[in-house]
Structure 1
Amino acid sequence: MNAVTVRRVSASEASTHTETLASALADVLLDCVEGGASVSFMLPMPREKALEFWRGVLAGAARHERILLVAETGAGRIIGTVQLITALPDNQPHRADIAKMLVHRDARRHGVAAQLMAAVDHTAREEGKTVLVLDTVTGGDAERLYQRAGWQAVGVVPNYALMPDGAYCGTTFFYKQL
């Protein structure tokens, strides 16, 4: 795989290139859901639903409610993404939630997810965040990724969510102190 870079989508880019970004990010999301990832969506998933989701994320990034990071190939193709949700209650200015850590199936096993998570840590520190929280499917590849990246498991909630095919799955909650 060509060199991969991870970058932050600026608020300006999120508002001026919404459709281009939404389309590229929809490709990643659809691939992940079709591959069985439990990331809030069910099969069959129409492309318009993915586009609508990313338009909302980009609007949130434009309003500085979240930070959107993307992993791109040297050719500029988005192959992964992750978000820091920073719009939290007044008593949690030091915290951010991590959401939608996604890597296209054809880009997996090349360190893209690890690069995204390292960029999350770096960006969170830049934003003055000291506590990060996320959740993931219990027993999945992402759970092992987070453990390797220094995240601490808090606990498991059985049958918390559904897989895209409708089967129940447990969810493990993690935190990281920066």
Structure 2
Amino acid sequence: MHVTRLEADDVRSALPGLGGLLVDSVEGGASVGFLDTVTTAEAQAWWAGVLDDPDSLTWVARDGDDIVGSVRLLLVTMPNGLHRAEVSKVLVRRSHRGRGLARQLMEAAETEARRLGRSLLVLDTQTGSDAEGIYAHLGWTRLGEIPDYAGAPDGTLVGTTIMFKRLAG
């Protein structure tokens, strides 16, 4: 398995894998902005829209030709925020969890953030989720929680935890 940055000329061929990854994550209970009614076509359309954003970078983890993970780095473009970025859509297929892919994906995003002069990263994640524990293990600091922030895949309102990480060097 390997992690690579998704380049513009790879987007079209990556959409089916990214759509399947998103659907798999939602079916597994991940609160990543979609309800459990999301279809693969809707997931692919969402990815197609966000991958055009020039102020975001996306990495994918592949097992052979299959996309099994992703992470996005959303670059702040306002003059007073050029030192920070947001991490988004850290997804790993259920079949590939527990193999260190989340760490590899996060390391890729953090390395590029440093290269771009970003010294502060932020993210939000469902309170009490496995992801929250993974981020803490990777050195992220819990800032606080917003109750009833978003709907889980089944529509139940759940809290979100805001986390940050200062990047050295």
The two structures share one fold, judged by TM-score above 0.5:
yes
Native 8 Å contact 2:149 2:157 kept in 1: yes
Rounded to whole Å, the distance in 1 between the matches of 2:38 and 2:65 is 25
Matches within 5 A, 1:71-110: 71-73=61-63, 75-110=64-99
Amino acid paired to 1:84: L
* 1:1-178 matched pairs, under 5 angstroms: 4-10=1-7, 14=8, 16-60=9-53, 63=54, 65-73=55-63, 75-178=64-167
**Counterpart amino acid of residue 49 in structure 1:** E
Residues 81, 100 of structure 1: 8 Å contact kept: yes
1:85 Cα deviation after fit: 0.2
Secondary structure at the aligned position of 2:45 is classed as helix
Measured against aligned partners, the alpha-carbon deviations of 1:129-173 in whole angstroms (never above 9, x if no partner) come to 100000001111100110011100000111111101011111000
- Counterpart of 2:23 in 1: which secondary structure? helix
Matched position secondary structure for 1:17: helix
Offset at 1:114?
A: 1.2
The runs of 5 or more residues in structure 2 that have no matched partner are none
- CA displacement, residues 5-42 of structure 1 (integer Å, 9 cap, x when unaligned): 111112xxx2x333211111001000001111100001
The one-letter amino acid paired with 1:106 is: S
TM-score by length of 1: 0.90
Matched residue type, 1:174: M
1:66, 1:87 within 8 Å by CA — same for their partners in 2?
no
2:84 aligned partner, one-letter code: R
Q: Percent identity?
A: 41
Using structure 2 for the length normalisation, give the TM-score. 0.95
Query: Moved runs in structure 1, 4+ residues, more than 6 A?
Result: none
Unaligned 5+ runs, structure 1: none
* Letter paired with 1:98: V
C-alpha displacement of 1:76: 2.5
